[in-house]
């Protein structure tokens, strides 16, 4: 297989899939180095390499399976926490 990585503001595309297997995608919403510190709110993270303690962050548990109920609930909590951090002190809040 192949993969490509793009900047978030890069417009990109590809030709139609001619293979028998479906294409898969992954979105890396943010990368933070191990020396990062959270200053407001509770930020949930999934550790992709290294120690599992998360440092100053709360570690989001890995789901047991696709669409796992506990995994979906954890993701919803992470999104709610992120919105609180993102919109702290804002007069307008975007609806997700």
Query: What is the distance between the alpha carbons of residues 7 and 18, in angstroms, rounded to a whole number?
Result: 26
> pLDDT averaged over the chain?
80
Strand partners, 44: 58
Token pair, residue 22, equals 């479906």
Give pTM, 2 decimals: 0.55
pLDDT of residue 90: 92
pLDDT higher for 92 or 2?
Answer: 92
Region 72-77: mean pLDDT is: 90
Q: What is the pLDDT of residues 27-45, one digit of tens each?
A: 776 777 777 777 888 878 7
CB of 33 closer than 8 Å to CB of 24: no
């Amino acid at each position: 297989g192949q993969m490509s990585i793009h900047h978030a503001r890069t417009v990109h595309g590809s030709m139609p899939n001619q293979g028998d297997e479906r294409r898969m995608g992954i979105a890396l919403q943010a990368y933070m180095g191990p020396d990062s510190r959270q200053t407001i709110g509770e930020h949930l993270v999934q550790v992709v390499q290294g120690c599992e303690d998360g440092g100053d962050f709360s570690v989001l548990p890995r789901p047991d399976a696709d669409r796992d109920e506990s995994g979906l609930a954890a993701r919803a909590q992470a999104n709610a926490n992120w919105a609180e951090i993102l919109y702290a002190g804002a007069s307008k809040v975007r609806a997700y």
